[in-house]
Amino acid sequence: MVHTAQRYTPTVAGLLVCCILALAPFASVAKGPSQSAVAAQDLPAEARTTLARIRASGPFPYERDGVVFGNRERLLPSRPRGYYHEYTVPTPGTTSRGARRIVCGGHVATLAECYYSDDHYRSFRKIQP
């Protein structure tokens, strides 16, 4: 009896499974509006002070406070340009603005949609009032 080698022909489904398994380790780096939440009272004292200034419409200690935040990183929910505004959260021990920010959208006096970043927009946590 002569044995012939069977020829393996991958199916489309098999290829898809292989691709999904190969890309699974990279799923956590996908961009999108998923972020954790933080209660306002659990923020650093400087962030709570910044929130109070936002609620009172100022005064703000930094010239760039209140400028439009473009959401170029696309980590926040997609909104029209001009919806989000950024505010500096002072970082003790730094002479510059530091990396901490609060970004608010909508009517900022109500603080309806604000996010905290302590790593200069690499990640955000939604602030719960």
In a domain, 84, yes or no: yes
Residue 21 lies in a domain: no
60: amino acid identity, one letter: F
Tokens 């909104």 -> residue = 79
Is 46 among the catalytic positions?
A: no
pLDDT value at position 31?
47
Q: Which of 46, 63, 85, 86 is catalytic?
A: 86
Active site residue 107: no
Quick one: pLDDT at residue 48?
98
Q: Is residue 83 part of a domain?
A: yes
Number of domains composing the chain = 1
What pLDDT score does 32 carry? 47
Find the CATH number of the domain harbouring 123.
3.10.450.30
Residue 35's domain comprises: 31-128
In a domain, residue 9? The reply is no
pLDDT, residue 83, reads 96
17-60 pLDDT, tens digit each: 333 344 443 333 334 454 699 999 999 999 999 999 999 999 99
pLDDT in tens, 92-116: 999 899 999 999 998 888 888 999 9
In which order are the strands placed within the sheet that holds 101-105?
36-39, 125-128, 113-117, 101-105, 84-88
Residue 64's pLDDT is 95
Q: Quick one: pLDDT at residue 108?
A: 81
- Domain assignment present for 12: no
Task: Output DSSP code: residue 78.
Answer: P
Predicted TM-score (pTM) of this structure:
0.72
* DSSP-based three-state secondary structure for 19: helix
Judge whether 105 and 79 are in contact, CB under 8 Å: yes
Q: Is residue 7 part of a domain?
A: no
Assess if residue 113 is contained within a domain.
yes
- Judge contact between 111 and 127, C-beta under 8 A: yes
pLDDT at 26: 36
Give pLDDT, residue 92: 92
Q: What is the pLDDT of residue 4?
A: 53
Would you say residue 14 lies in a domain?
no
Q: Give the pair of three-digit tokens for residue 80.
A: 């029209």
